[in-house]
Chains A and B, each alone.
Chain A
Amino acid sequence: MSKAAPPPQDGMGEPVPRIDARAKVTGAALYAADFPVANAAHAVLVISNVAKGSIRGIDLFAAKATPGVLLVLTRENAADAVKRPSYFAEGGHASTKERPLSSDRIWHDGQIVAMVVADSYEIACDAASRIGVTYDETRPAGKLGGPGTETVAASAVNKKHKDPMVGDAERAYESAPFKIEVELETPTQHHNPIELFATTCLWSDGKLTIYEPSQFVYGLKHGVAEQLGIDPTDIRVVSPFVGGAFGSKGSVTPRTALVAIAARQLGRPVKLVVARDQGFTVATYRAETRHRIRLAAARNGKLLAYQHEAWELTSRIDDYLVGGTEATTRLYAVPNAATKVNIVRADRNTPGFMRSPPEVPYVYAYEAAINELAEVLGMDPVELRRVNDTHKDPITGAPFTSRSLMRCYDEAARAFGWSHRREPPGTASDGDWLIGWGCASALYPTQMSVAAARVRLVRSGAAHVEIAAHDLGTGAYTVLAQAAAEGLGLRPEAISVTLGESSLPPGPVAGGSITTASCCNVVAKACGQIREKLSRAVAQAKDGPLAGTNRRMLQFANGRIVDSRGNGEGLDQALDRLGTGAIEEYAEWIPHGAKPEGLQKLYRGSLDIVGGPMEDRVAFAFGAEFVELRINRYTREIRVPRIVGAFASGRIMNTRTAHSQYMGAMIWGIASALHEETELDERTARYVNKNLADYQVPVNADIGEVEVIMVPEVDRLVNPLGIKGIGELANVGTAAAIAEAAYRATGKRVRKLPIRIEDLL
């Protein structure tokens, strides 16, 4: 087995190669913009270049005069075309309540002000560049904490948010022997999946087909139906392959309805591939945050107090909130905690989920503070975490369904060689390169959703799984095949899987790392129903090797149904006994803590997610990351020769795809620490580096050795299969480990991200 396919340990699934791998390496996999759609016209967006004000005029003369231009949508001809979108955080579907082209009002930089449709992409681009828009501009406030923004307590505007609180943190802090107070900042970041935001709309007989990369095809279907005022059953969303999403394709953005409207008006399919720079403002992003943290501890390292006030940026239209203190307060035993989250409304587009939305900024801040506290205490940062490990929720006292944080630390520390750590800062080097080490914890709530699925078993012993879930590269196709294979006693090769289609039974949004737990459990349930029917048929048969046996003792293995002595019969014979050519079972799964109405909601494209801190239990996955930095003594380039992460996240379905998920996320952690930042021009509230050269993500040469350790963990409480999510765990905490390593190498504490050359000079 290669590094890519680690041998499974206790209870982990086999490293089955991706069942969609061949399609991906041959170019056969069809992403949204790849579907062959005959006679498609091409659309290009025109976006505002002011952040606040109103449109004075739009000069369409030159654009309309361009031969090949078919249609230009503006507020003049499309003001009423799109109905008001419902915001996802208020139970709706859309990433924003912004109603495209509905008025003169400009809410943010890069707002859609027109859409040109032409015979070809080249003509549409040319025409779009000839549209002149003039604005009455007012001075925007785009910066967190800048003048003109509006700060409100999150708990005042969001019914679901309650600031976690226990004991009397203020008093405990005042009287504690060891304490720190720090302020930290995280930047704006954009997902930048390599696939662009593409939408193709095709009408036929009054029914609409949408090809769009989506993390939630049911949400997209219902959201667009609402915005067009049509029946959702008349919409089909097709999204079998998604070229990376990371949160950016989770909710309905304003472009889709416009493309549908243009296609309907022209009686011709319309294809829009949003340009990279426009993607920065017509979809969402991770907003910048600021944190003020106070920590206090006793001599032995026991935490006494934790105070955390945070500010997050949002738009004027929508109160987007991540509220990561829900996570930080669950990391360590702390008797006194007081937290407060604020949102800051500014003239910006609405932020949205980006891989570990609350945890990346908040856990960075908290873990960076914990590392600083360790220094004040003169303690090994690993030991500080050990002293404060806990098995019950520090806020509510409820038990963790499972928690293996310190096992992760022990395994990762051993692999990394942490015991050879050098003190004090600035003392390790190799020639002209200063060396620093750091570590931090990762955690991510285990979240689950109701889900439905259909599994069909045919006589040949092949089975087919259908669920409107999504594979963003996460391996969902493969792990669902494995779940069905396991449930039916078949080889994974015998299973085919259809995902990403809104006509299938609904799966949840591919966000919050909920797909594997929710969908494997519902597939397992459907398989159980098939087993039940077939077992009953063979056990109740008048003849045959299993006639009269106790059906509960029967097992499905190697394409057969067998009793404990190995006697049995093939699935084809069992199907004959039922008198059917195939058996198909539909199942619905409702996780612990979810309401049964959840499924009806899901059928309507709305989510009901449970997990993390629940009433009677808390479900989180944990990990520990260790990193080595090399920083040039003179010019301070920062390089990451190695990083080690150990993660315990319940049952791992496939060690190959899980390894890739963890590895990719750790590299995301490196990126958030050292590379990524969307720059804002404060005067105009406009983004500056809206492209892949200036918005930096790591390249191949940036990545050294990445070691992933999967710590076996059995969780019998969290859900029947014991699965926690893994996709978002491993980029949490990385930045704090890196900040610590940068300090260890140079003696400089940088309390903002990304850490760049200029911060260490």
Chain B
Amino acid sequence: MRSFSYMRADSEAAALQQAEPSDVQFLAGGTTLVDLMKLDVLRPAQVVDITPLRRGPAGEIRADGDGLRLGALVSMAEAAAHPAVQSGYPVLADSLRLAASAQLRNMASLGGNLLQRTRCPYYRDTSWHACNKREPGSGCAALEAPNRMHAVLGTSPACIATYPGDLAVALVALDAMIDLASEGGRRSLRVADLHRPPGETPERETNLAPGEMILAIEIPAMPWARRSLFLKIRDRASYEFALASAAVALDLQDGVIRQARVALGGLATVPWRAHEAEQALEGKRPSDDVFEAAAEVALVDAQPLRGNGYKVLLGKRTIIRALRQAASMEI
């Protein structure tokens, strides 16, 4: 690990006062940041510890008629255990509960979770030369090497790294927003616009400005989100990132799907909203045929490689299974 200067920020203002924003990393739970600094992948000159902000609004969960507001420094464990999350947004609670481990969920913040980096092994291990995300222009080792874990959606010839997180997938399905602050002021952004597909610049992972801070996640009121779930498929029964995941919500009235939400994880370079699948569901009565058709369109643009071809079929099956389960939920 390279040396850095450490600063503890007791207020939002203090956190945003940065000499050189592009050299700053915020420290929340540290479970991504410290890990990647040890691996020499991230080398910030300054680390700004924002955990004291937990004592303010950034550490609060608020639920009211307008929806749900989750402070960026709320831990994954707290959010997963919150009654409003569990009852109103099962998809969200599941996405947190099924992620990482109990220890990591105690440490990790929601804001940090959204900004976790890919688990692509060639990115995480600096002894591999070719990684466009880590060293722009160096190539992509994963295209030809074992790539069982890599993405089939949203890839580019420059990078096929999977976005590994679970929470963001649920949030994208729920049309969530994030509140941001920087020295220049505040703004909000759709979670769906936070992560950038790799394109030709995989090193630019998000649409945050350097030094910009996430304050909170806002989830709109959505009563029918009670019929929602997050299905995560992995080899191990726990403590593993998704090979494929689906966040689904169904507005089922009188046996007809009025509205549907489908987002995918483990399959794509960014949290992936499957709008076409949603359209294929809306107005239909739930049935295996309808679910299969929706799954089919969701992966129609998939671009499999040697090691991850199975993800196309697995992705479809994950969607079908999630939809079947959601349709039969007792709510």
Contacts and interface: CB of A to CB of B under 8 A. Distances in A.
Q: Does A pair with B? A: yes
Contact of A701 (B40, B236, B321): B236
Nearest to A50: B127
A392 interface: no
A634 B321 contact: yes
A236 B175 CA distance: 65
A364 B47 CA distance: 51
B121 A688 contact: yes
A652 B148 CA distance: 44
B237 A702 contact: yes
A696 interface: yes
Contacts of B238: 699-702
Contact of B321 (A432, A698, A699): A432
What DSSP secondary structure best describes chain B's contact surface?
loop
A679 interface: yes
B235 A635 contact: no
A639 B237 CA distance: 8
Interface string B306-330: 0000100110011011000000000
Contacts of A756: 235
Which of the listed residues A632, A698, A757 has the most CB atoms from chain B within 10 Å of its own CB?
Answer: A757
Interface residues of A, number: 38
B237 A761 contact: no
B145 interface: yes
Interface in A259-311: 277
Contacts, number: 92
Given A125-B1, A690-B125, A637 B234 contact: yes
Interface string B138-169: 00010011101100000000000000000000
B236 A698 contact: yes
Contacts of B235: 637-638, 674-675, 696, 756-757
Contacts of B317: 634-636, 761
Contacts of B145: 681, 683-684, 688
Contacts of B149: 694
A761 B2 contact: no
Interface residues of B, number: 37
B277 to A, nearest CB: 16
Contacts of B1: 122, 125-126, 129
Interface string B97-136: 0000000000000000000000101100111110000000
Interface string A624-639: 0000000010111111
**Chain A interface main SS type:** loop
B318 A679 contact: no
A719 interface: no
B239 interface: yes
Interface string A63-103: 00000000000000000000000000000000000000000
Interface of B: 1-3, 38, 40, 119, 121-122, 125-129, 141, 144-146, 148-149, 233-241, 243-244, 310, 313-314, 317-318, 320-321
14 contacts: A126-B2, A635-B244, A636-B314, A637-B233, A675-B235, A688-B145, A688-B146, A693-B119, A698-B236, A699-B237, A699-B240, A702-B238, A757-B235, A757-B243
Given A635-B318, A637-B235, A681-B141, 6 more contacts: A49-B129, A129-B2, A634-B318, A638-B235, A702-B238, A761-B310
Interface of A: 47, 49, 122, 125-126, 129, 277, 432, 632, 634-639, 674-675, 679-681, 683-684, 688-691, 693-694, 696, 698-702, 756-758, 761
